Amino acid sequence: ETGVTQTPRHLVMGMTNKKSLKCEQHLGHNAMYWYKQSAKKPLELMFVYNFKEQTENNSVPSRFSPECPNSSHLFLHLHTLQPEDSALYLCASSQLTDTGELFFGEGSRLTVL
Amino acid sequence: QKEVEQNSGPLSVPEGAIASLNCTYSDRGSQSFFWYRQYSGKSPELIMSIYSNGDKEDGRFTAQLNKASQYVSLLIRDSQPSDSATYLCAVRPLLQGAQKLVFGQGTRLTINP
């Protein structure tokens, strides 16, 4: 495995379901991110983790719950979502430097019915 | 005022011509600037980064930065149909911490054979 991998690639869930998105980075980076990409809107930063500690929560509703057990793994736990939460959820990683570029995974396409 | 602004397009350019993509940003203290390419149904891929005023060339791509005008651009020479994608401008605003990367809405580019 190389780069940043996300699973599942596609997920359909009802509003009462609980599911999780998984991300793993193989780049030796020490920061990981969740971004949301909705149609015709800019990428929105959701959460940032440095060395598995959360450093940013961009006013994300509590129905999204992140977990970062170590610097290589990141989860996004989903529960009681709304149809407007349907989007592409992108995981990214970077080195902790002022110029650290982000490297994205392929994304998890979420549809909430 | 949006933090990062791009013309959403679509921008149509004939094959072999120069494609010019533009981006403006609001945080005057921003230090790091990135261009990502995103093919339909795929995740963003970093193609250029630029940190100081002037031009930076990488193959057919040239990034241009003018901090005084708060303007960053991407030129694609000898455009190919494979360059057809959405191009995302991203800026690291100084005031919001070193890790937050703010994205524009993206410009959809179509190269016509």
pLDDT tens track for A35-86: 999 987 889 999 999 887 888 888 899 999 999 999 899 999 999 999 999 9
Average pLDDT of the segment spanning A10-28 = 94
Q: What is the DSSP letter of A99?
A: T
Q: CA of B81 to nearest chain A CA: how many angstroms apart?
A: 22
Q: How far apart are alpha carbons B47 and B36 in whole angstroms?
A: 5
B99/A104 touch (CB, cutoff 8 Å), yes or no: no
Query: Assign residue A23 a region: left if phi > 0, alpha if psi is -120 to 50, beta otherwise?
Result: beta
A42/B98 touch (CB, cutoff 8 Å), yes or no: no
Choose among A60, A26, A5, A103: nearest CA to B101. Answer: A103
Label residue B93 by pLDDT band (50, 70, 90).
Answer: confident
Which amino acid appears at position B111 of this protein? I
Q: Beginning with the edge strand found earlier in the chain, give each strand of the sheet holding A4-7 in spatial order.
A: A4-7, A18-25, A73-79, A64-70
Q: CA of A1 to nearest chain B CA: how many angstroms apart?
A: 17
Q: Under an 8 Å CB criterion, which residues of A touch B? A: 31, 33, 40-43, 45, 48, 50, 55-56, 90, 94, 96-107
Contact pairs from chain A to chain B, CB under 8 Å: 57
Label residue B41 by pLDDT band (50, 70, 90).
Answer: confident
B44/A99 touch (CB, cutoff 8 Å), yes or no: no
Instruction: Give me the pLDDT at residue A40, please.
Output: 79
Bridge partners for B65 per DSSP:
B54, B72
Contact B31, B92 (CB under 8 A): yes
Bridge partners for B71 per DSSP:
B24, B66
CB nearest A42 (choices: B42, B100, B104) = B104
DSSP reduced 3-state for A24:
strand
Q: CA of B43 to nearest chain A CA: how many angstroms apart?
A: 5
Instruction: Give me the pLDDT at residue A2, please.
Output: 72
A103/B92 touch (CB, cutoff 8 Å), yes or no: no
Label residue B88 by pLDDT band (50, 70, 90).
Answer: very high
Which of A5, A7, A98 to mutate to probe the B interface, most B CBs <10 Å? A98
Label residue A98 by pLDDT band (50, 70, 90).
Answer: low
Rounded mean pLDDT of chain B?
Answer: 92
Instruction: Give me the pLDDT at residue B101, please.
Output: 86
